Chains A and B, each alone.
Chain A
Amino acid sequence: MSEHHEKKDRSRPPQSQGWIAEYVDEHGLLEAARKVREAGYTKTDAFTPYPVHGIDHALGIRPTVLPFIVLVGGFTGLGTALLMQYWMNAVDYPYLISGKPLGSWPAFIPVTFELTVLFSAITTFLGSILLNRLPKYSNPVFTSPRFDRATDDRFFLYVDSSDRYFNKNSVQNLLSSTNPESLEEVMEDASSTVIPRAVWLSVLLLLVIASIPMAIILKMRNSNSPSPRWHVFFDMDFQPKKKPQQISTLFADGRAMRSPVLGTVARGQWEGNDAFYLGYDPAKLAAHAGRDRSRFVGASLAAAMQDPVGAPALGQPPTPDEEKSPESAIPAGSNVPAKSETSDEMDESSNAAEKPSDEPSPGDEATDGKVMVEETQTANDAASPSSGEPANPSQDGAALASAVPTLPFVTNIPMEIDAQVMELGKKKFEIYCSVCHGVGGDGDGLVARRAEEIAQSYWLPPTSLHADAVRSQPVGQVFYTISNGKGKMAGYGAVLTPKERWAVVLYVKALQRSRNASESDVPLEMQSKLSQSK
């Protein structure tokens, strides 16, 4: 209706916009509307307190396109929800939970449904308001005080002056013939359209004030400051507790960090000071006290923090053995010369598996059934970067890495072994180790394969147990690695008992040997079969 009118000119008197007739009931309105339409007028409208049944037909108003707009809105919501969930949970930040697929469509249904409804509803709401060109606060019909009753109990019919057939007199005559309660000419809204200065100034002021906190936050987030962070909520940043290097007034020595009370062992940390629990010989370690003792203690402590169970007891820090060359680190009791050729080592050890060679008496096996697995020990293989040199003391990890290979690892499994131990080792290996290292020890466990498949950038592939560097390790070192972990591998000292750990060591050694066996390793009765099959 009045949208079609040219811009108002303040200098001229208000222009006529059309004629409006008032009726007391809907029947009067309906009949008048039909008459007006039959007369050919199309720029007409009715104003009623409630939607009058049939008035659209009487005025010839076409149905609205709103449902189609809503359909588009609904599909937008549907697509947005599905794409959003898939992208967020499967692409940008994949959630791996219980091996469920990344795109779990059934689980995405509820949010998809809700967003479809939400988008449709917003489209309906805004669409209907915008299609009605609302909000519109200046309307010529509002100039008549009578029109207030359009939202109460009166019905109005309006003919706009922009209609093709509009003629002031004929419209007036036509409308009077419909017995209206009143008939008025609608005049242009002559009131000023300028927003008063006080209003827009105060709105502007409010906006500026409202944006100050946001501006402060933005500035603080995007700039550096030497002063500490300003805490609105303390979260758990400030707690009444002491951190390791802080000063305590409670104790005479002023240290917040306390060492264990003399002569006590923390629960679960008791382990005999024995190669069976440690993987190396503590007595030898003590004998090799060197000048880098302090550094080594630091490294041991770091190891103890990492895995307190497998680490040496805190009360008895092991003495360092840093400067020893690989050869000199060989336990004194070993009668096997150090060798650098791994294949030879394997031959040696394979022989050793058959007969005890560590102990000079060959009757041991027969007498007490004790089988000692012997390993040729090269404490540092060629690949180890820190073999003889002191490690960088600034890095605990590096210090530990250099400290570990110099420990006097045992070369024999310090317990009785038999087929049952081997079975135990196999069982535990397959439970705990094979997930990463693979059933065959090749470093191709399911976890490793999965990580490779989804190309995790931070994934460090597990070591193959058949690598030379691993094969050359003495049993004590393998035991030490199982207990305390290495690199990204966690220690299993907490889940495997020492006996189980040694059993796993035995199984690992067996696995390694199985890849490097010669024909002579095959038992005699099987050798004939082997030659037959050739």
Chain B
Amino acid sequence: MASIATSFEIDNTIEIPGRRAPLVTGNQTLGSVTEMVSSVAERPQPKIWYIAFAISFSMMVMFFSLIAYLIYMGVGIWGNMSPVFWAWPIVNFVFWVGIAHAGTLISAVLFLFRQNWRTSINRAAEAMTIFAVVCAGIFPGIHVGRAWLAFWLTPYPSLNLWMWPQFRSPLLWDVFAVSTYASVSLMFWYMGMIPDLATYRDRSKTKLRRLIYGILCLGWTGSTRHWMRYEKAYTILAALATPLVLSVHTVVSFDFAVSQLPGWHTTIFPPYFVAGAIFSGFAMVITLLVPVRKIYGLEHLITMRHLENMNKIILVTGSLVGLAYATEFFMAWYSFNGFESYTFINRAFGPYWWAYWIMVSCNVICPQLFWFKKLRTSPVLMVIISIFVNIGMWFERFVITVTSLSRDFLPSSWGYFRPTIFDMLMLAGSFGLFMTLFLLFCRFLPTIAMAEVKGVMSAHAHAEAHLAGDHGQHHH
């Protein structure tokens, strides 16, 4: 028994028949979990945090300055030009919304499937969801041209317009889907954080900290009655968020699929977009969490097994995305539709061939490396692959949006899209905003769901006891 336990301690990615791999390693106790997670926010931040924050913060300032400049000058500073009016702003929007999906998937879908390993990573992934939705929401908001009138999208009784939004438009569905998603994700995230904020409150050394965390955690005591309603509420929220997360990218794909443009007008888009969203989201979780666990010494909580599981999901969704690419080509040929087949031949061999092949190599070929256990358990390699996946997923949206728009039915209106420096700086700036928010999150909020990890540790101990035939004295 001891030798097996030891081998799990060394490598918890191995499979031992009749045993469950531990979810956390290092013989953790309840107190040590609290200590490890709380120290992330309590101890002075490492030097690298300040360096990263300085870079991200400057990029964020640049982003908001550019938005101010855009509002002052107009959208003409972008490369958007007839016929490609939906250029980088919409590419960036879909990219960030896609990233957001992993958080909800990990926290809601894996929760409903009783995948207990989610507990170590769900908080950071949910935070990532919120921050990605923030980045995503900005782009269509400033893309509308007169950004100060973006509130016209909401159905409010206007005394100036005397009219209501058009509810048959996918763009309006998008407004509802993304804002619902942002709201529900925020509630889910905050709800999950309440017990951990109480832990932070109770560990506070200063009065101010105690006051702020005390207000944030609403006076949480850990009462059993509270826990019961809390757990029920959490389950319901997970059950609500699961179809929601599938619907959001479905609706985003409707923006394209409901139009008549070859390359957009296809029924495969909803599942294809959702698979891509999960794919890119998990890649972003890997990109962020591998450095975080290293920097803050959380290797015993975010174990190699967690990373390996995520890499397996990346492998599956990456293959799904590859299948979707192949299906699109098959349908272009099988439908016998000249416009459709032209569009796809043009994608792969037309003026944007480079974007298409970047997309295929990053999204389809790259994740296939995860078939090898050596590769999917190597932190450095998985970060590199996950970055490639994110590059590939950005290009996927670029390929869908730009290649289809630049060559529609009328050859006289064909064009070639060229981004301007503002396009590029604003994409970079959105990463600055995202990273700033994430770094602040690490600095001030519980990065790992302590209460959930503790609950899972207890459940694991029960299960282990049962498996070992040890129906101990605490059995009831």
Q: How far is the CB of A436 from chain B (nearest CB, A)?
A: 25
A 123-157 binary contact with B (CB < 8 Å = 1; else 0):
01101110110111111011000011111110000
Q: How far is the CA of A128 from the CA of B180 in the complex (A)?
A: 19
Q: Of B236-244, B279-287, B386-394, B433-441, which binds chain A?
A: B236-244
List A residues 233-264 near B (Cβ within 8 Å): 233, 235
Question: Counting CB contacts under 8 A, is A48 at the interface?
Answer: yes
Question: Counting CB contacts under 8 A, is A12 at the interface?
Answer: no
Q: How far is the CA of A104 from the CA of B169 in the complex (A)?
A: 11
Q: Of A84-92, A325-333, A395-403, A411-419, which binds chain B?
A: A84-92
Q: How far is the CB of A352 from chain B (nearest CB, A)?
A: 49
List A residues 100-135 near B (Cβ within 8 Å): 100, 104, 107-108, 110-111, 113-115, 117-118, 120-122, 124-125, 127-129, 131-132, 134-135
Question: Counting CB contacts under 8 A, is A95 at the interface?
Answer: yes
Which residues on A sit within 8 Å (CB–CB) of B476? 30, 54
Residue in A67, A131, A135 whose CB lies within 8 Å of B219: A135
Residue in B184, B220, B241 whose CB lies within 8 Å of A151: B220
Q: How far is the CA of A289 from the CA of B452 in the complex (A)?
A: 96
Nearest A residue to B167 via CB reads: A85
Q: Are A67 and B222 in contact (CB under 8 A)?
A: no
Q: How far is the CA of A111 from the CA of B171 in the complex (A)?
A: 11
List B residues 51-85 near A (Cβ within 8 Å): none
Q: Are B164 and A118 in contact (CB under 8 A)?
A: no
Q: How far is the CA of A89 from the CA of B164 in the complex (A)?
A: 7
Q: Of B223-231, B323-331, B341-349, B395-403, which binds chain A?
A: B223-231
Q: Are A124 and B237 in contact (CB under 8 A)?
A: yes
Residue in B148, B163, B177, B458 whose CB lies within 8 Å of A50: B458
Q: How far is the CB of B454 from chain A (nearest CB, A)?
A: 4
Which residues on A sit within 8 Å (CB–CB) of B223? 45-47, 132
Residue in A64, A88, A114, A134 whose CB lies within 8 Å of B232: A64
Question: Counting CB contacts under 8 A, is A93 at the interface?
Answer: yes
Count contacts between A and B, CB distance < 8 Å.
Answer: 201
Q: Are B166 and A110 in contact (CB under 8 A)?
A: no
List B residues 153-169 near A (Cβ within 8 Å): 155, 162-168
Residue in B163, B176, B202 whose CB lies within 8 Å of A148: B202
Q: Are B225 and A153 in contact (CB under 8 A)?
A: no
Q: How far is the CB of A222 from chain B (nearest CB, A)?
A: 10
A 31-72 binary contact with B (CB < 8 Å = 1; else 0):
000000000000001111111111110010101101100100
Q: Are B176 and A152 in contact (CB under 8 A)?
A: no
Question: Counting CB contacts under 8 A, is B295 at the interface?
Answer: no
Q: How far is the CA of A305 from the CA of B146 in the complex (A)?
A: 31
Interface range for B: 35 or more
Question: Counting CB contacts under 8 A, is A375 at the interface?
Answer: no
Nearest A residue to B187 via CB reads: A125
Question: Counting CB contacts under 8 A, is B474 at the interface?
Answer: yes
Question: Counting CB contacts under 8 A, is B455 at the interface?
Answer: yes
Question: Counting CB contacts under 8 A, is B191 at the interface?
Answer: yes
Which residues on A sit within 8 Å (CB–CB) of B167? 85, 88-89, 107-108, 111
Which residues on B sit within 8 Å (CB–CB) of A53? 458-459, 462
Which residues on B sit within 8 Å (CB–CB) of A56? 224, 228
Q: Which of A97, A113, A132 has the most CB of B within 10 A?
A: A132
Nearest B residue to A51 via CB reads: B227
Q: Are A118 and B183 in contact (CB under 8 A)?
A: yes
For the complex of A and B, the 4 pairs showing the least CB-CB separation, nearest first, are: A128-B233, A153-B30, A88-B164, A135-B218
Task: Write the residues of chain A forming the contact surface with B, with a CB cutoff of 8 angstroms.
Answer: 26-27, 30, 45-56, 59, 61, 63-64, 66-67, 70, 84-85, 88-89, 92-93, 95, 97, 100, 104, 107-108, 110-111, 113-115, 117-118, 120-122, 124-125, 127-129, 131-132, 134-139, 141-142, 147-153, 232-233, 235
Would you list 16 pairs from A and B whose C-beta atoms are within 8 A, ordered by A residue? A26-B458, A27-B474, A49-B30, A50-B454, A51-B231, A64-B229, A89-B164, A108-B168, A115-B180, A117-B180, A117-B244, A125-B233, A129-B218, A134-B219, A135-B218, A142-B221
